Amino acid sequence: MFLILTLALLPLGLIALVASLQAIRTADLEKEALLRVAVTQSARKLTADLQSDRTALELTVNAIANGAADKGMCRRLAFFLTSHDAEGGHFYIYDRAGHILCQSSQLEPAGITPANRFDRPIAQLLPTHLVSRVRSGNGRLVALSYYSRAHLESVADPATALQNRQLTLRQGNRQLVVSRPGGGVSGHSNSLSARLDPPDILLTMTVREPPATLARMLSLFLPLVMWFAAAAIGWFVVNRLLIRPLVLLRRVVAAYQPGEVLEPLQRIRTPALEIMALGETFHEISKDVATHEAEMAEGLETQRKLTREVHHRVKNNLQIIASLINLHARSAHNIEASDAYASIQRRVDALSVVHRNHFAELEENRGVGVRPLISELSASLRGTAPALARRFAIQIDSDNLHISQDVAVPIAFLLTELVELAMMLAPQATMRISVQLEPDRDDRARLTVRSTGLRSSDDMASHLDERYGRVLTGLSRQLRTPLEYDGDAGSYSILITVIP
């Protein structure tokens, strides 16, 4: 039987192996295409940045050479280059006598001697920098702009995510490693180059291939292993569910003595109808008890299905409401309307999170889990946060507690109000939410929300007076416990009832 099953499943194993090899080949082609797109995109971005800076330098150096420059031209040039380069934009303008006429506040990097300032290459690679050279129209002045590795890496960073990549600039025999992976590029790797403007500089991107490990080799032959395992499992199932039950049933019947009550189905677990039919002779003895239990189980299952259907419909309705709000938000013509729709959507999402967590714990009837509720609610709030608060961080420290739905709803709304208020006042701040059991109490826990955005200030007082204060007070009344506020620490805390 094992041999028959093995031969029957062999074609499926071979098909799976061919499909696995084809998937590996397709993945390699996709990696190469992604690398080509990434290096082209990086070259274009770097060329555009250099051309923009060269245009500004050319305007400035020609104005100075022709005597048309005013006193603020160097300052404006420095401001323009600083806006492109976070390190300040290193630039220096010299005349033929070596006098510096305009410069940035940083010291000029080493690498170009005074005699080589007016050389022909408009761009030149140094050991640690890329220098761009712009001469005036009359040839009397020259402007030098230096770009560090960090700036070049930030500009040439492609939008596509490539792991273990290295960027290198090459000019003849010179090269400048812009960025390299943590462990360096070793072993098998793929490299592609794109030409910059000036055309004598190449940008090369090298991506290291992952090493050939035992796990990768096993994954290649996984279809064959699955084929063998499927045959073994098939034989095991047939033996355990058919052959062995028949042997056990034959032994019980062979050992039968008059006056015994044979119950062979208690020792046999099999879905085979033929085997089960052999034990139907003993069905009448336990018919009443089995019928009663079946009726109770059917009633319980019916009630469970009805409850599940109600929860499912409510969840769908909340999702429809959230979708409608999102559609209206997209068609809003001003920021105030969009913010209002987003605020409403956050509260609908908060109710949906409570309902979904309550539904997840319905089978065990343990209530709503506090930790998953706050985690999912935090993720939802950060997902709908305003643009300025995209990096608003929320840290959660909670015991493994459960609360009823009547407590979970106001808690979700309370956290929504406080997170939204903190995001408005301090978009880049961090919030810490903790839920800890009270000492010597197993039915009470303290919920604490702390953030620098919640500290006392004029803006904080204004928002509390306008709306948030009334909402927070109403939610605390619904929880039947006071909401404590510490303005110096920027924290709110409240006692909540948990399920022991």
Tokens 């920021």 locate to 335
Question: Do 108 and 243 share a structural domain?
Answer: no
Question: Do 361 and 244 share a structural domain?
Answer: no
% of the chain beyond a pLDDT of 90: 12
CA-CA distance, 424 to 429, in Å (whole number)? 10
Residues 6+ apart with CB under 8 A from 465: none
Query: φ and ψ at 384, to 5 degrees?
Result: -105, 15
Work out the pLDDT band at 466, boundaries 50, 70, 90: confident
Select from 184, 171, 83, 90 the least CA-distant residue to 127: 171
CATH of the domain at 307: 3.30.565.10
Does 475 reside within a domain? yes
Question: Do 308 and 255 share a structural domain?
Answer: no
Question: Do 232 and 317 share a structural domain?
Answer: no
pLDDT of amino acid 496: 92
**Mean pLDDT, rounded, for 429-446:** 90
Work out the pLDDT band at 215, boundaries 50, 70, 90: low
Rg (alpha carbons) of the chain, rounded to whole number? 36
pLDDT of amino acid 286: 42
Question: Do 28 and 165 share a structural domain?
Answer: yes
* Structural domain that includes position 20: 2-208
CA-CA distance, 17 to 23, in Å (whole number)? 10
Does 340 reside within a domain? yes
Q: Please say whether the dihedral angle defined by the alpha carbons of residues 94, 100, 102 and 107, taken in this order, is positive or negative.
A: positive
pLDDT of amino acid 283: 44
Count Cβ atoms below 10 Å from residue 20 Cβ, excluding itself. 16
CA dihedral 245, 246, 250, 256 (to 10 degrees): 40
**Mean pLDDT, rounded, for 306-326:** 73
Helix (H) or strand (E) holding 436: strand 430-437
Boundary-marking domain end, from 282, 307, 333: 282
Question: Do 155 and 42 share a structural domain?
Answer: yes
Question: Do 310 and 259 share a structural domain?
Answer: no
Question: Do 197 and 259 share a structural domain?
Answer: no
Residues 6+ apart with CB under 8 A from 460: 421, 425, 454, 487
28-32, 127-131, 284-288 — most confident range? 127-131
Does 157 reside within a domain? yes
pLDDT of amino acid 499: 87
CA-CA distance, 22 to 433, in Å (whole number)? 49
pLDDT of amino acid 434: 94
Please say if the pLDDT value at position 288 is more than 60: no
Question: Do 185 and 228 share a structural domain?
Answer: no
The residue count for the chain: 500
Boundary-marking domain end, from 208, 236, 265: 208
Whether the Cβ atoms of residue 101 and residue 152 lie closer than 8 Å to each other = no
pLDDT of amino acid 362: 55
Does 293 reside within a domain? no
pLDDT of amino acid 279: 61
Burial status of residue 270 (CB atoms within 10 A of its CB: 0-12, 13-18, 19 or more): middle
Tokens 């047939």 locate to 238
What is the 8-class DSSP label of residue 389?
G
pLDDT of amino acid 79: 83
Please say if the pLDDT value at position 58 is more than 70: yes
Please say if the pLDDT value at position 96 is more than 70: yes
Does 46 reside within a domain? yes
CA-CA distance, 289 to 226, in Å (whole number)? 45
Select from 321, 365, 481, 347 the least CA-distant residue to 412: 347
Q: Which residues of 84-111 are buried (b: 16+ CB within 10 A; e: fewer)?
A: ebeeebbbbbbbeeeeebbbbeeebbee
Boundary-marking domain end, from 282, 311, 330: 282
- Domain total for the chain? 3
Question: Do 351 and 202 share a structural domain?
Answer: no
pLDDT of amino acid 285: 43
pLDDT of amino acid 493: 94
Whether the Cβ atoms of residue 322 and residue 315 lie closer than 8 Å to each other = no
Question: Do 17 and 141 share a structural domain?
Answer: yes
pLDDT in tens, 402-414: 888 888 888 888 8
Question: Do 363 and 271 share a structural domain?
Answer: no
Please say if the pLDDT value at position 284 is more than 60: no
CA-CA distance, 333 to 352, in Å (whole number)? 27
Whether the Cβ atoms of residue 301 and residue 363 lie closer than 8 Å to each other = no
Does 90 reside within a domain? yes
Please say if the pLDDT value at position 230 is more than 90: no
**Mean pLDDT, rounded, for 236-257:** 69
Does 308 reside within a domain? yes
pLDDT, the chain, mean: 79
Does 289 reside within a domain? no
Whether the Cβ atoms of residue 205 and residue 38 lie closer than 8 Å to each other = yes
